[in-house]
Amino acid sequence: MMTDTNYDPLRFSTIAHRNHRYLSPLSRQKADELVLSLVSNLSADDVVLDAGCGKAALLRDVLRMSPALGVGVDINQRFLDEARAEFLRELPDDPRLKLINAPLLDHPRPDGGYAAILCIGSTHAFGSFEECLRISANWLRPNGLLLVAEGFWKQLPSQDYLDVLGGTTDEFVSHAQNSERARASGFNVLRTATSSDDEWDEYEGRYCAAMMQYLATHPDDPDAKAFSTRMQAWHSAYLKWGRTTLGFGYYLLLKP
C-alpha cells in the first residue's frame, strides 16, 4: 500500500516518465514521419489540440514544423510545466502554445473547431477509444485530422498478464479492428503505424530505469518500497508477456 498522506495518483507516472520525451513507445524518427503527414496543410489560423498531452512533445513538434497554434490539455501540472519549459527552450519567445491544466472534456474549445487533434495513448481522457473518435469528430472542422494512438492485442493476453495490468481481454482489440472502428465512426483512414520492439524496449527501459534511479537516491521516500515492488513487477511482466502481447498503433484519420 502507498501512503495516504497527500496521496498523488499521478506521482508514480510522473517519476517513471521523467526521462521520456514522448510518453509512449515512439522514436523521434517515427514522430517526425507522423507529424509530417499531419502538418502539410496547416496555416497560421489553424488550432491543433493535444488531448491528454503530457509533456506535449508531439504538439511541440507540430508547432516546430508548421505555423499552427497549439493547445495542450492535461491534468498533470508537472508535465505541463516541463512542456512549457521545453517549448521555450526549443522556440524562445514563441507565443503559439497554450497549456491548460483541466479535465479534457471541460476545456474551452475554439468556435470554428480544431484543424487537427492529437491523442497519443490518452483516449481514456475521453472515456474510451470509441468516445475519442465520437467526440473528436464533433470537435474537428470538416476535413480536420485526428492522429490517435491506442493499444492493441498482438495476441490474446494471458490471465496472469491481465492481472498485472489490472485489465480485461476486451480492453483492446487488434490493430486492424482499431482501424475498422475508426472507419465505422465516419473517418477515412489515411495511414497507420505501429511501435516497433525497439521502441517498446526503449520506452519500458527508460520507464523502469527512471523509477529505480529515483528510488536509489531517495531511499527515505515513504512510497519507496511500494514503488519498487510495483516497478519490478511491471517490468518483469513486460519481458515475460507484454513484449509479445501488447502493441501500440497510430492512426491518422480524416473527418470528411
Q: Which domains does the chain have, with CATH numbers?
A: 20-155+166-209+247-254 (3.40.50.150)
Instruction: Please report the pLDDT score of residue 9 as a whole number.
Output: 87
Instruction: Please report the pLDDT score of residue 1 as a whole number.
Output: 34
Find the mean pLDDT for residues 124-139.
98
Strand ranges across the sheet with 47-51: 97-101, 69-74, 47-51, 114-120, 140-153, 246-254, 188-194
Instruction: Please report the pLDDT score of residue 4 as a whole number.
Output: 44
Beta strands in 75-208 (DSSP E): 97-101, 114-120, 140-153, 188-194
Cell matching residue 85: 519549459
Which residue shows C-alpha cell 514521419? 33
Instruction: Please report the pLDDT score of residue 8 as a whole number.
Output: 81
Question: Could you tell me the pTM of the whole model?
Answer: 0.94
Would you say residue 5 has pLDDT above 50?
no
Find the mean pLDDT for residues 202-222.
98
Percent of the chain topping pLDDT 70? 97
Choice between 245 and 3, residue whose per-residue pLDDT is larger: 245
Q: DSSP states of 13-57 as a string?
A: HHHHTTT-SSSSS--HHHHHHHHHHHHTT--TT-EEEEET-TT-H
Instruction: Please report the pLDDT score of residue 3 as a whole number.
Output: 41
Tens-place pLDDT, residues 176-200: 999 999 999 999 999 999 999 999 9
Cell matching residue 44: 497560421
Instruction: Please report the pLDDT score of residue 7 as a whole number.
Output: 61
Instruction: Please report the pLDDT score of residue 6 as a whole number.
Output: 53
Instruction: Please report the pLDDT score of residue 92 as a whole number.
Output: 93
Residue 200, CA atoms < 13 Å, CB-side half-sphere = 17
Residue 248 CA, chain-centre distance (Å), reads 10
Find the mean pLDDT for residues 73-87.
97
111 pLDDT tier (thresholds 50, 70, 90): very high
